[in-house]
A and B are shown apart, each in its own frame.
Chain A
Amino acid sequence: MSYEMIALLMFSSMMMSMLTGQRVFAAIGVVGVVAAALLWGNGGFELGFSANMKLLKWYALLTLPMFIFMGYMLSESGIAEDLYKAFHVWFGGVRGGLALGTIGLMVVISAMNGLSVAGMAIGATIALPELLRRGYDKIMVSGVIQAGSSLGILVPPSVVMVLYGMIARQPVGQLWLAGVFPGLLLALLFAIYVVIRCWINPALGPALPPEERDMPLIEKLKLAQAGVLPFLIFFLMMGLFLMGITSLVESSAVGALGSLFAAWFKGRLTWEMWNRVLEQTLGITCMFMWIIMAALCFGAVFDGLGAVKAIEGLLVGEMGLGPWQILILMQVSFLIMGAFLDDTAMLVIVAPLYIPLVGKLGFDLVWYGVLYTITCQIAYMTPPFGYNLFLMRAMAPPEISLIDIYRSIVPFVLIMILGMIIIMAFPQIALWLPQHVYVRG
């Protein structure tokens, strides 16, 4: 059997194993260890554990539990309620204003944590009930929250970009800066969509009655104080890192400590909340780490089979494609895989095959990191497999059905693809900031 055939067989076995509904890490890991044993005999028996030793050295992953802890701490800290109240008053008067406020809230939450979990938790528990109570269209707002929270991985800090940086060997600081304008661009596109929909059909997002939002300017400004804590946390994390005072992993610890202080400051630190946050942090960290551990083993065998050369041979040699055709093909394949695969596994297994070729074709790997991150955002929302889908299903009130959730993501996925095309056409949207702000990272 040729190596290409073995590689293909491995990939399809993995997909089949996952379809059984067994835990994703086990489905990936079993194919990795069995393939290693079949191919390399006794020598391959230890590859699974060897991947674990490799993982030990991936120091950037130390940021993962920190960001997860931070996300849960913030969503429990009450910061979001204050912020939401401020957005409520400022945007309430506009048609669809609360949905716009929710997008704003999501951008701020995104700037304080590196995943979409915190955004989803805050969106589903704080914003969603309020939006539904005010008669907003449930499908539209379900989409707003899923898409908005996905900005958590594009707006810095971002765990996905840390992982991408590890694999593509690109500086994380540059990647994070590159995500700033694309993140704002997507938020803007979401907002334009909401405004247009509500302008055509005001029933989708009724404006708040004036008595709820009319208050003296001074009161309105006071509400803006809600932004102080988020800014402080963002500064502690990003500022110290970009100024070169703390290293990447150290700054994530500083951010985690900051979120702890914020919760304490707001008087939210109860024994029960404390236990819930620590338990969830352990659970989610384990989920990520065990998937990465299994995927690293799978990836080592895959890589050992020369899959990189095979992909290059196929795309450049046999199909004779040009650079842009290859890039588009890769993004399309990521979108398709993203529907079925966990994005972390996708990154560890597939990205190492693509990234060397992308570099060789002359594309900027920081820019490509932004494109990749957007495909991950889409992957979070596309059925059957997506974190935001899972979270939405777990947290949404009963009146939002599974079909509603699936329908809600369609326009936002299209908007994200549009955003990605815009950034492909105008790379400077991503690259201007990292090229003009000097950072060592």
Chain B
Amino acid sequence: APYVKAQDKKITWRLQTYAGAALAEFVIRPAVDAFNKAANGEMEIQLYTADQLVPTGELFRAMQAGTIDAVQSDDDSMNSPVDIKVFGGYFPFASRYSLDVPTLFYEYGLAEIWDQAYTEVGVKWLSAGAWDPCNFATNKPIKALADLKGLRVFTFPTAGQFLSQFGIVPVTIPFEDVPVAMQTGEIDAIAWSGITEVFTSGWVDVTKYFLTNNVSGGWAGSFFANADRWNEVPEHLKTLFNLCMDSSHYHRLHWYWGGEAKLRAEGGRLELTSIPDAEWKTVEDAAHVFWDEVAKQTPRTAKVVEILKKYNADMEKAGKPYRYG
């Protein structure tokens, strides 16, 4: 941004999140505001919400080309040209709790793998965090796997590929179009988030039921930046940005953890339904077949699957409260 920069004598970044405007107020705006305040005029981050400057599917491309400087998204949604993008967003049954995600990244070695993969394609991977679990919000009650058959579902590409075997038809549309698409019949269900986001994004107005079984316990997403832009940032502002990303991750951890429980416990506008655990077990088993297929794609995906397996085995072994039964 040479023209504007010369005028303002400060670094200006355009950061686009994949969250829509309403949700962004909770999950990214506070961190950006905090950064801008603390940067004290030396640097300013301008926040853009889902599809505002560029369509979500083009986020990676736009960041690489410099149309935007930074992105908050999962690898799957932003369509990263890296083999590990399948693990971003909701990789089926990779995590049980949101805390699993940072543990996998920072204690089990995913961070190094991500850093290397994105360096190869000229983008700086900055930091990963967890969001909410992935449940279904629907207009008809889902009480058995068979009820999912034939539903057109707004969901993440990878989750959609996985769920297709149970008869759902995954549909991708811009995030902000979801409520209208529910009403115009373009989609019949949403498998994109936990119950907190169903409320925050206003999807509660167009759905009636919430399926408590989840496909994943925690969304895995990251902050990314155009590598050149990141290198231009002075060290002290890099540190500040890191702190703000951490604070954003931290806030989401308790916001979702508490939100999911509270909205389920207090009930209200969505009726909760469940598929019996024994039946849901078939979905979980199918996920492990899916893992093995993904592991065959590249040595790197094999490595990630190996880590996921090791981690889940450790958690099983650790027993309660890490894993029950």
Contact = CB atoms under 8 A, between A and B. Distances in A.
A249 interface: yes
A54 interface: yes
B263 interface: no
Interface residues of A, number: 41
B120 interface: no
Interface string A402-441: 0000000000000000000000000000000000000111
B246 interface: no
Interface in B40-54: 46, 48, 51-54
B27 to A, nearest CB: 19
A96 interface: no
B41 to A, nearest CB: 16
Contact of B58 (A38, A53, A303): A53
B1 to A, nearest CB: 5
B232 to A, nearest CB: 13
Given A50-B55, A247-B186, A440-B185, A43 B173 contact: no
A16 B67 CA distance: 27
Interface in A205-255: 241, 244, 246-250
B234 interface: no
B1 A39 contact: yes
Given A1-B7, A43-B1, A247 B184 contact: yes
Interface string B152-192: 00000000000000000000011011011111111000000
Interface residues of B, number: 34
A40 to B, nearest CB: 5
> Chain A CB within 10 Å — which of B54, B57, B69, B184 has the most?
B184
B55 A57 contact: yes
Interface string B10-51: 000010000000000000000000000000000000101001
Contact of A41 (B2, B48, B51, B57): B2
Nearest to B2: A41
B60 to A, nearest CB: 12
A441 B69 CA distance: 38
22 contacts: A39-B4, A40-B66, A43-B1, A44-B67, A46-B65, A46-B67, A56-B55, A169-B177, A171-B183, A172-B184, A173-B183, A241-B185, A247-B184, A247-B185, A247-B186, A248-B184, A249-B184, A303-B53, A304-B46, A304-B52, A440-B183, A441-B183
Given A50-B67, A166-B180, A247-B186, 20 more contacts: A40-B4, A40-B66, A41-B2, A42-B66, A43-B65, A50-B58, A54-B51, A57-B51, A57-B173, A59-B173, A59-B186, A165-B180, A170-B180, A171-B184, A172-B184, A173-B184, A246-B185, A248-B185, A304-B48, A440-B185
Sort A-B residue pairs by CB-CB distance and give the 5 closest, nearest first.
Answer: A43-B66, A247-B185, A171-B183, A248-B184, A54-B55
